[in-house]
Amino acid sequence: MAELKKPPMGSLQMDSDKVDQLIEIATLSPADFAPSTEEEKEHFIQPQKSIGYWQDAWRRLKKNRVSMVALGILILIMLFAFVGPMVLPYKYDQQIRTSLNLAPMQYSEAEQTARAAGESVFPHIFGTDTHGRDILARTMMGTRVSMSIGVMAALLVLVIGSIYGSISGYFGGMVDNIMMRIVEVIYSVPEVLVVLLLSISLRPWLENFLNTNTNSAFAQPIRVLGSSIIAIFISFALLYWVTMARIIRGQVLQLKEQEYVTAARALGASSGRIIKKHLLPNCIGSMIAATCLQIPSAIFLESFLSFLGVGVQAPLTSLGSMCSDALGGMYTYTYRLIIPAIILGIMLLSFNLFGDGLRDALDPRLKK
Amino acid sequence: MIKYIIKRVVMGLVALFVVSILTFFLMNLVPGGPFMSEKPPSPAVQAMMEEKYGLNKPLTEQYVTWLTDLLKGDFGVSYRMQKNRPVLTIIKEMFPTSAKVGAIAMGWAIVAGIALGCVAAYKRGKLTDSILRVVTTSGVALPTFVTASILLVVFAGGVWNILPSIVGTSSSWKAYILPCFTLGLNPMCNIARYTRSAMLDSLGQDYIRTAYAKGLATPFIIFKHALRNALIPVVSYVGPLIAGILSGGFVVETVFNVPGLGRYFVQSINNRDYPIIMGTTIFLSAFVIAMNLIVDILYRVIDPRIDLSKGVE
């Protein structure tokens, strides 16, 4: 009889004893819902810990020795630029009339007499310039200015580029077509010329603005930053976001086909919410890497402008304008040129190498 | 092909138009007008001047006049640096020197860059490759003015005094060594990096293995089979290279006192000679855009695998 109950091969009907087993499983007693004992828990521990995206990226980054060295150097430079001026007794714009044109580690006569009298005088490690300003303090300040401009300009590019790129990629079709044509036009504009033009024509305009609207809400930041830095930011906002927009657009084009976007749309999420909550957080890896590679290009541009004399204005200084100032007496005071030039070179190199490593770590698919 | 060229030409013209609008309206942001000097002219004289140059008309009308003059080849006259000389004459006078320095720099950058890239790819993973990688990475990261000033200190006075530091109108060929070398250094390093990765790509292809199996000589394989195919992506870099040479030119010409258009442009900025700034910006933009266009079209002619009907990626 039992054999008769067995359905023929390939039948969709279930084995009757299997059905019994299933029913047995489905009838659960309250004891089955009791919390597991410690012993049971121990058996359940996964053999390997799961690793999140950031941990994974950090692990990959740590393996890249060049990037880690670059990161170390960047941290040192940051300490130099942001902590250094607090420790140093000299200010970057403080002119010491008695100690003009000192060589590195040299003391002026006034300082020598003070030292002879038993006072401790902090040495001018890099010497002083023609106005008696301590070059170490100026280098620190210049590094700080260059670095801050680089980071802020890169963040500006990030914001504009990711908004533009995600809108263009998400809506696609005609919108994408028009927006990408605009990007192509901006792409073919020779940016150095326009940036030079911007930085010279904005300065008098901003100064005029400052003089007429002294109490305006915009006047304060402009006065603090100086018009030339604002001009650099404006040129970045106008011209340099196109690469970022292209990267984000490419990512969004891929991501928007994913199921979770369809699911979100089916649940009635608006386009803005999908972009904000679903698409952009998923491009974060390439966003960070591209921003990090944007920083050296911003520092590069700032020092280029300052070197040509249209960047950061005195008394504020930057590494580029220090090099430019030193060019006059470069044979007598070579170190004044070499010191900022080397710091700038190391900083740019480290940012580039670290950015490359970060890109490989955060976005392993891009690695070639 | 034709469709692509037309599309690119239209794109270039639109870009140039954008540059011209930007240039014009940025210039007019500057308060005070172009005739401001230490002693401002009397209102009557100023009104007369404005009448003469058409500065009392509305901005849009001024722009149209400026643009039509530009299309006729009239770039206006210099206000300050070379009073009342036509800007176009000045550009014609200055540009050949810049072009000469730029062309030499580009020439050596391309030749040396490709050669070093080939060496690095062939010696992949060896000491030579590592050394070349360090050199090219630093060369790419260092700004032109840093290398320019270091070279100046080393070769023109600081350490050895073997090369002249400035270029005059009647200088010998020696004076051109430093500026051309400096200007080409950054592009050279870039080209070497591009060539290396392209060569590694093409050395791994099947046809290279076939060539080895046939028993061809190694130099023959490298130069005939691998390099020819590796050069195609390198060609696409020549467009940005021209723009890089241009921006490097400003610095190099300023540092080495080369009497070229780049240095003159920087001087005109510091002198606020607006017609020269505007004229030079338009001229150089047109030059860069045209060069990019030519390079991109050539690139597509060289590599028939690229589909012309699709857009630029």
pLDDT at residue B313, as a whole number = 38
Interface mutation vs chain B, best among A191, A201, A332, A353, most B CBs within 10 Å: A201
Listed by number, the residues of chain B in 13-42 with a beta carbon closer than 8 Å to a beta carbon of chain A are: 14-15, 18-19, 22-23, 26-27, 29-32
Neighbours of B3 (CB within 10 A): 9
Listed by number, the residues of chain A in 198-217 with a beta carbon closer than 8 Å to a beta carbon of chain B are: 198, 200-202, 204-205, 208
**pLDDT per residue over A54-93, tens digit each?**
888 888 888 888 888 888 998 998 888 888 877 777 777 7
Task: Give me B162's structure tokens.
Answer: 């073997």
Least confident window among A214-218, A231-235, A325-329, B23-27: A214-218
How large a percentage of chain B has pLDDT more than 70?
Answer: 82
Any residues with CB less than 8 A from the CB of B247 and at least 6 apart, and which? A192, A304
Examine the pLDDT at A209 and tell me if it is beyond 80.
no
Q: Do B269 and A368 touch (CB under 8 A)?
A: no
**B282 at A interface, C-beta within 8 A:** no
Closest CA to A350 of B96, B33, B289, B141: B141
Q: Is residue B144 part of a domain?
A: yes
Listed by number, the residues of chain A in 267-306 with a beta carbon closer than 8 Å to a beta carbon of chain B are: 296, 300, 303-304
Angle (CA) A41-A46-A50 rounded to 5° is 135
Peptide bond into A315 cis (omega under 30): yes
Q: Is residue B269 part of a domain?
A: yes
Q: Is residue B264 part of a domain?
A: yes
pLDDT at residue A194, as a whole number = 79
Interface mutation vs chain A, best among B7, B17, B20, B29, most A CBs within 10 Å: B29
Examine the pLDDT at B33 and tell me if it is beyond 60.
no
**B215 at A interface, C-beta within 8 A:** no
Closest CA to B177 of B145, B214, B151, B139: B151
Q: Do A341 and B146 touch (CB under 8 A)?
A: yes
Examine the pLDDT at A315 and tell me if it is beyond 60.
yes
**B67 at A interface, C-beta within 8 A:** no
Any residues with CB less than 8 A from the CB of A118 and at least 6 apart, and which? none
pLDDT at residue A201, as a whole number = 74
Which carries the bigger pLDDT value, residue A364 or residue A328?
A328
pLDDT at residue A10, as a whole number = 62
Q: Is residue B198 part of a domain?
A: yes
Q: Is residue B10 part of a domain?
A: no
Closest Cα in chain A to B15: A185
Q: Do B145 and A345 touch (CB under 8 A)?
A: no
Closest Cα in chain B to A209: B31
What is the distance in angstroms between the Cα of B40 and the nearest Cα belonging to chain A? 17
pLDDT at residue B303, as a whole number = 72
What is the distance in angstroms between the Cα of B215 and the nearest Cα belonging to chain A? 30
How large a percentage of chain A has pLDDT more than 90?
Answer: 1
Q: Is residue B12 part of a domain?
A: no
Q: Is residue B7 part of a domain?
A: no
**pLDDT per residue over A338-355, tens digit each?**
888 888 888 888 888 888
Q: Is residue B61 part of a domain?
A: no
What is the distance in angstroms between the Cα of B268 and the nearest Cα belonging to chain A? 11
- CA dist., res. B19 & res. B10, Å (int): 14
Listed by number, the residues of chain B in 175-214 with a beta carbon closer than 8 Å to a beta carbon of chain A are: 197
**Domain tally for chain B?**
1
Question: CA-CA distances (angstroms) from residue B223 to B119, B216, B228?
Answer: 11, 12, 7
- Give the pLDDT mean for A328-339: 75
**pLDDT per residue over A158-179, tens digit each?**
999 889 988 888 888 888 888 8
Q: Which residues pair with A115 in a beta bridge?
A: none
Closest CA to B137 of A340, A350, A147: A350
Of A300, A324, A368, the CB nearest to B197: A368
Given pLDDT bands bounded at 50, 70 and 90, which one contains residue B199?
A: confident
- Which domain covers residue B253, as residue numbers? 87-311
Task: Give me A92's structure tokens.
Answer: 């970057």
Question: Measured between beta carbons, which residues in chain B are less than 8 angstroms from residue A345?
Answer: 138, 141-143, 146
Question: Measured between beta carbons, which residues in chain B are less than 8 angstroms from residue A250?
Answer: none
- Give the pLDDT mean for A200-229: 70
What is the distance in angstroms between the Cα of B108 and the nearest Cα belonging to chain A? 23
**pLDDT per residue over A243-292, tens digit each?**
888 888 888 888 888 888 888 888 888 888 888 888 888 888 888 888 88
- CA dist., res. A136 & res. A100, Å (int): 14
**pLDDT per residue over B221-245, tens digit each?**
888 888 888 887 788 777 778 877 8
CATH at B197: 1.10.3720.10
Instruction: For chain A, give the mean pLDDT.
Output: 78
Which carries the bigger pLDDT value, residue B71 or residue A151?
A151
